[in-house]
Amino acid sequence: MDDFYQQNILDHSRHPRNSGRLDHPSVSREEMNPLCGDKLHIDLQIDDGVVTAVGFTGRGCAISQAAASMLTEEIKGKSVAEVRALSKDDVLGLLGIPIGYTRLKCALLGLKAIKVGVYNLADEEFDDDELF
Amino acid sequence: MTQMIAPQFDLERIRADFPILHQQVHGHPLAYLDSTASSQKPALVIDAMNDFYRRTNANVHRGVYQLSEQATEAMEQARAKIARFIGARSVREIIFTRNTTESINLVAHAWGRANLRPGDRILLTEMEHHSNLVPWQIVAQATGAELLFIPVDGTGRLALDGLDRLLTERTKLVALTHMSNVLGTINPVKVIAAAAKQVGALVLVDGAQSVPHFPVDVGELGIDFLAFSGHKMCGPTGVGVLWGRKPLLQAMPPFLGGGSMIRSVGLRSSSWNDLPHKFEAGTPAIAEAIGLGYAVDYLASVGMDAIHQAEQQLTQYAVERLQGIDGLTLYGPAVAERGGVLSFNLAGVHAHDVAAVLDQQGVAVRAGHHCCQPLMELLDAPATARASFYLYTTPAEIDQLVRGLEKCKAIFG
Ligand SMILES: Cc1ncc(COP(=O)(O)O)c(C=O)c1O
């Protein structure tokens, strides 16, 4: 257990990075996980095809909030193409712990918000089957 | 603890009947505290189903050969056992469905669409499981009927002082849960049913949490429909029951159409079979129905009064232990008015994280909204952790839960 809730996960969930909302986001996205009532909101600012700022607010379990917080750090400075290519394994890599089937929805909620956001920016639908 | 258990109730022997309980999870003995979601099954039930597939399996109500006759007889015996178990007047009043959800949908669609008119009212409560809420929303939309709700008070009980105003001659049906799967509240169904009868309303009871845990007698309660699930009462998944008063069931149109439910079929119209078959279209869950019959035998042999008493004592113990934990919020009414379901939150820790830490300590609890989103809004808790008990739950498992919660506080503290 001490392995599961590692210090970095607890730290990210208590002190989410890039916390808050952006004034003029290029795209905003809210996602909910009805399973446990996790909710989060992600704002992205994109300049010349690169993510320059991220705003994150949310509430929910430590896994959903920590994974989203880690992702906000991960995507800053990345190109939209790189963000579009992020996968489930990238998130699991960031978390660094085994995630069971039911908690996967928590872990991937932030990624889902980000992916839907960048797909919508290009007027495309994101099918979340791709994530799981 | 031991002297508190009723004398005829031998916890150790009961536990020996449930093979799944005797295992380690993450290096700890399994403490299965999620029977409200689904109960475990005694060997008797598992063996009966295996035996059916090894020796008797055939379709029912169709063949004239020996296997089919034996299978039919076994399934009809199960129906008779269930009828006795809930005090039904006739075996024809027992309809096999998949679960509580399907039983309620059956009434909503077959009775509701045929009988509800614009302006008619259906009275529900604020503590319903989605399965006793969403079907009525669908039928209300289709028929123009209105939904009204008995409110839940601050202690998690139904606020019945306004019941007179909520019940009018426009009220056609009252549908409520016998016991809340979140708060454990046991509702005074008999009192509410009597009030409903005064205005001529029918009463449907969601018995998903009552039939498994204490004696339920449909005649004594004075109700019209009772829905429950096999898997929550030591039986298999895939089989549930709708009980209804015969004249009502006879007057209702069918729910699903197909094989078995017809008397004669023409190309453009058909006539319906007798009860209960009118409501059992297609091949039923035969092995599961037989398994449920054995589950009912098992529960009756232990005794529903004894089960209820043991669970009350265990709940009293658990409430005392949990109330001793700093930062823990326990939801729901006093032990005298509740069953063995305890929803709680630890300050500053999401319920899913509580459940994950407990899992690592071998303790299985549910976390989430428990399919009761409107009630969770009322509690102002997006999620709770929930520990629930059954006849095989021990005081030692409660202690294990408490130790796990202390661990949780240490990690997130
Ligand atoms: C009170 C209540 N009603 C209905 C249900 C639905 O039961 P099922 O999923 O077996 O249809 C449940 C199960 O969670 C319940 O606790």
Chain A residues touching residue B349 (CB < 8 angstroms)? 62
B229 ligand 1 Cβ < 6 A:
yes
- Residue B178 CA: which ligand 1 atom is closest? 1
Q: b/e string for B228-249 if b means 16 or more Cβ within 10 A? A: bbbbbbbbbbbbbbbbbbeeeb
Q: Nearest-CA distance from A67 to chain B in Å?
A: 14
Q: Is the CB of residue A86 less than 8 Å away from at least one CB of chain B?
A: no
Beta strands in B202-353 (DSSP E): 202-206, 225-229, 240-244, 262-265, 270-272, 328-330, 341-346
Protein residue whose Cα sits closest to atom 12 of ligand 1: B208
Residue B254 per-residue DSSP state: P
**B296 class by beta-carbon count within 10 Å (0-12 exposed, 13-18 middle, 19+ buried):** buried
Determine whether the shortest distance from the Cβ of B101 to ligand 1 is under 6 A.
Answer: yes
Q: With 60 as the cut, is the pLDDT of residue B69 above it?
A: yes
pLDDT at residue B259 in the model? 86
Minimal CA–CA distance to B222: which of B87, B84, B80?
B87
Spans of all domains in chain B: 11-42+303-412, 46-301
Question: How far away is chain B from the Cα of A2, in angstroms, using its nearest Cα?
Answer: 7
Decide yes or no: CATH 3.40.190.170 for domain B11-42+303-412: no
Which residues in chain A are contacts of B350 at CB distance < 8 A? 36, 60-62
pLDDT at B198: 97
Asked whether B187 lines ligand 1 (CB < 6 A), one says: no
Numbers of helices and strands, H then E, in chain B: 15, 17
The pLDDT tens digits for A17-36 are: 999 999 999 999 999 887 66
Catalytic residue list contains B234? no
Q: Closest Cα to residue B395, out of B354, B346, B340, B358?
A: B340
The complex scores an ipTM of 0.77
Sign of CA dihedral B126, B130, B133, B134: positive
Architecture of domain B46-301 in this structure: 3-Layer(aba) Sandwich (3.40)
The predicted model gives B272-298 an average pLDDT of 96
The pLDDT of residue B3: 45
At residue B1 the predicted structure's pLDDT band, cuts being 50, 70 and 90, is: very low
Q: State both tokens at B387.
A: 């520990």
Cβ of B198: how many Cβ atoms within 10 Å? 10
Instruction: Measure CB to CB from residue A1 to each of B352, B382, B411 and give the nearest one.
Output: B411
Q: If phi over 0 gives left and psi between -120 and 50 gives alpha, with beta otherwise, what is residue B303?
A: left
Q: Among B234, B371, B372, B408, which one carries the catalytic annotation?
A: B371
Please give the domain boundaries of chain A with CATH numbers for all domains: 2-121 (3.90.1010.10)
**pLDDT level of residue A2 (50, 70, 90 thresholds):** low
Nearest CA-CA partner of B29 in B332, B320, B403: B403
Q: What is the pLDDT averaged over residues B135-140?
A: 98
Q: Which two tokens stand for residue B165?
A: 């105003």
- Asked if B411 lies within 8 A of A2 by C-beta distance, the reply is yes
Q: What's the pLDDT tens digit per position in B41-64?
A: 999 999 999 999 999 999 998 778
